[in-house]
Structure 1
C-alpha cells in the first residue's frame, strides 16, 4: 500500500514516526499522524487545515492531544458513554495521578526490545487510519493516497484524533467540503 502514497503522504507517515521518537513513545499512533499533518506545508491537507482554521490553533490542538493522552487516550465519545454509566473519567484520572503522578495514564514508553531493532511499530489504530485512507482514496476515485486521504481517515475514524479535529471545526464533512469532491 505504501507504494501508492504520494510524497506528501509519505512525509506525514515519516513525520509521525519522528513525533513518536521525540516523545519516546513505543508506537506510532493516530495522534502522531495528526501532529505530522499539522507540520505539512503546501499540500492538500495543509490547505484544508488552514482553511478550517486548525493550523492557526496548533498549540491548542497539541494541548488537546496532550490532555487526551493524560486521560489515557479516552475519547470524548468514550467519556460520554462512561458518564452514562455513572463513571466520572476526570475523577478516575485524578485518583490515579494522586497515587502514581501526573500523566500516569499516558501511553507506554519505549521498550528495550524495540530500541535494539531500531523499528518504531505502528499501533493498531494508526494502521487502521492508513487502511481507511486507502478506502477513502478508492471511494473518491483517486489512484494514489495523499495526505488529504490521511486527514479524511483521521476525521472519520472514532478516537481522540477525530474528537480533536471535530472540536476545532474539522469534522469529516467540513474537510470534504473544503477539499471538494475530487
Structure 2
C-alpha cells in the first residue's frame, strides 16, 4: 500500500512518527497523523484545510489542545465524556485524581524509551481507509487529502476534533471534488 502514497502522504506518515517521538509516546496514533496533516504545506490536504479555515495558527493550536485533552482522558472522546457525565461519572474529576496520585498524563499510556514505535490499531485503520478513499474517487495514488478524508470519516478523536473545526467529510469532498455528489452527502 505504501508504494501508492504520494510524497505528501509519506511525509505525513514520517511527521506522525516524529510527533510520537517528540512526545515519547508508546505508539503512533490517529492524533499524530492529524497533527502531521496539519503540518503539511503545498499539498492537496493543506489546500483543503486552508479552504476550510482549519490551517490558521489559532485553529491548529486549538486542534492540538483538543488532542492533548483527549489523550489525558485516556483517549475518550468528548462525546464519550459527555455520555459518562449523563451517568453521573465526571471524567475530568477522575483524570484529576489519577494525575494527582500518579502524575500528569498518567492515563495517556506508558512511555516508550526507545526502539521503533508501532502504529495503534486506529492509526492503521486510517491508513487503510485512505486507500479506500482514493479508490472511491478513482485516484491512482494515496495523497494526504485521502489521509484527511480517512481521519474525518472514522469514528474517534480525530474526526470529532476535525468536525468541531468545520472539517467534515462532505466539506472536504466539496473542496476536493466540487459540488455534485459531495454536496448531496
TM-score (norm 2): 0.89
CA distance in 2, matches of 1:157, 1:80: 19
Deviations 1:111-144 (A, max 9, x none): 5xxx3xx422111110000001111111111111
Q: Alpha carbon RMSD of aligned pairs, Å?
A: 1.6
Partner residue of 1:165?
162
Partner residue of 2:132?
135
Partner residue of 2:41?
41
CA distance in 2, matches of 1:96, 1:26: 19
Deviation at 1:76, TM superposition (A): 2.1
CA distance in 2, matches of 1:108, 1:33: 19
Deviations 1:41-60 (A, max 9, x none): 01110001111111102111
Count of residues in Structure 1 that have an aligned counterpart in Structure 2: 177
Partner residue of 1:31?
31
Pairing 1:1-182 to 2, within 5 Å after superposition: 1-56=1-56, 57-111=59-113, 115=114, 118-180=115-177
Q: Which moved more, 1:27-36 or 1:80-89?
A: 80-89
Q: Which moved more, 1:34-43 or 1:169-178?
A: 169-178
Deviation at 1:83, TM superposition (A): 2.9
CA distance in 2, matches of 1:156, 1:91: 30
Structure 2 counterpart SS, 1:55: coil
Deviation at 1:38, TM superposition (A): 0.8
Unaligned ranges ≥5, structure 2: none
Deviation at 1:100, TM superposition (A): 1.9
CA distance in 2, matches of 1:22, 1:88: 30
Unaligned ranges ≥5, structure 1: none
CA distance in 1, matches of 2:154, 2:132: 12
TM-score (norm 1): 0.91
Deviation at 1:65, TM superposition (A): 1.1
Deviations 1:52-109 (A, max 9, x none): 1111021111111111111111112322332343322122212212222222212321
